[in-house]
Structure 1
Amino acid sequence: MSSAADAASGPTAAELLDFVRRVASDAEIVASLPLDPEGRTWVQLEGPGGSEAWLIGWPPGTGTGWHDHADSVGAFTTAAGTLKELSLAARLPTDGWKTLELTEGIDRSRELATGQGRAFGRHHVHEVLNESDSEHAVSVHAYYPPLPRIRRYSRNGALLRLEQVERPEDWQ
């Protein structure tokens, strides 16, 4: 786990957003991503200041499921198509729970068309979806520090349940 001093020396969420916007506007980079009609595709990019960055392709109807990026700040921008982000406008406890009952009014939804993006802080719980039935979407993502873990959740109405904690070795 990184210390606060390490996190302070890396890029901010705003700097990551500037980076993903620049990359998303580069048609040559975006076009270099192989797209698969069956599943998401991705290519790792060199992010600024030691950050982790990805170019991701989203076939119609795909999504991430509810998750957070633990202790990392991040940003993403849609480079092609439209993505929808569902998120929670609440600070959740970071550890020590398995199930939470969410209060009314904390759900947020935003559509991010080509060129639109957002930055987010640590422990931001969200789900990203390509709801199109015919169009691929492509996006650029960056995180700092490089993802130490991703927590995956299930959601049933107001109940949010921690299902799994993934670490980088799980993605290799």
Structure 2
Amino acid sequence: MSQPLPTPVATHGSSAPTVAELLDFVRRSAADEDLIASLPLDPEGRTWVHLEGPGGSEAWLIAWPPGTGTGWHDHAESIGAFATASGELKENSLAVRLPASGWRTLELNEGVDRERRLGAGQGRAFGTHHVHEVLNESPAEHAVSVHAYYPPLPLIRRFSRSGAVLRLEQVERPADWQ
């Protein structure tokens, strides 16, 4: 599923990249037509390849078949950014900081839900503790996006959601998705 592809030119400095630098990288990468065209599209499931991100960040080029999504998750202590290269992605997010550990179920307050739609060329950056799900709601069109995280993802926590109740379901480590 994952194979090496040419990587966009990244700025490598001696310091950690900022969210603005990650956002600039994903936007430039999403505009690279040759890079986007090199990603194989699968009609059934997401495909992805690892990219070299700026300043030691972890980056991914991801294809989203119609009707696919990530489910609710966070990126631990990593900051990040993503940009849509083609199609449209919907991001549902929570304006809440979850405890790092020691819980399985939380009841969310009203007013914490946020929704964004990101068409081709649009991106967004986020800080640590960002909880969201990303969806391609199109019934017929693939979407493609570029994502970058710093530090490289130490883990992803996956959640289920029923109304106001958020439940921790699984913790994934890099070996689970690379």
State how far apart, in whole Å, the 2-side matches of 1:58 and 1:170 are. Answer: 19
What is residue 101 of structure 1 aligned with on the other side? 107
Deviations 1:13-67 (A, max 9, x none): 1110000000001111011100000000001111011000000000000000000
Structure (1/2) with the larger helix percentage: 1
CA shift for structure 1 position 123: 1.3
What is residue 35 of structure 2 aligned with on the other side? 29
What RMSD over aligned residues (CA atoms) do the two structures have, in Å?
1.1
User: Aligned AA for 2:88?
Assistant: T
Q: How does 1:3-152 map to 2 (within 5 A)?
A: 9-152=15-158
What is residue 6 of structure 2 aligned with on the other side? none
User: Aligned AA for 1:10?
Assistant: A
State how far apart, in whole Å, the 2-side matches of 1:117 and 1:102 are. Answer: 27
CA shift for structure 1 position 94: 1.8
State how far apart, in whole Å, the 2-side matches of 1:157 and 1:102 are. Answer: 9
What is the total number of aligned residue pairs between the two structures?
165
Please give the TM-score of this superposition, normalised by the length of structure 2. 0.91
State how far apart, in whole Å, the 2-side matches of 1:98 and 1:118 are. Answer: 29
3-state SS in 2 of match to 1:9: coil
CA shift for structure 1 position 9: 3.3
Unaligned runs of 5+ in 2: 1-13
State how far apart, in whole Å, the 2-side matches of 1:55 and 1:155 are. Answer: 27
CA shift for structure 1 position 171: 2.3
Sequence identity, in percent? 79
Runs of 4+ in 1 over 3 A off after TM superposition: none
Unaligned runs of 5+ in 1: 1-7
3-state SS in 2 of match to 1:64: coil
User: Aligned AA for 1:107?
Assistant: D
User: Aligned AA for 1:47?
Assistant: G
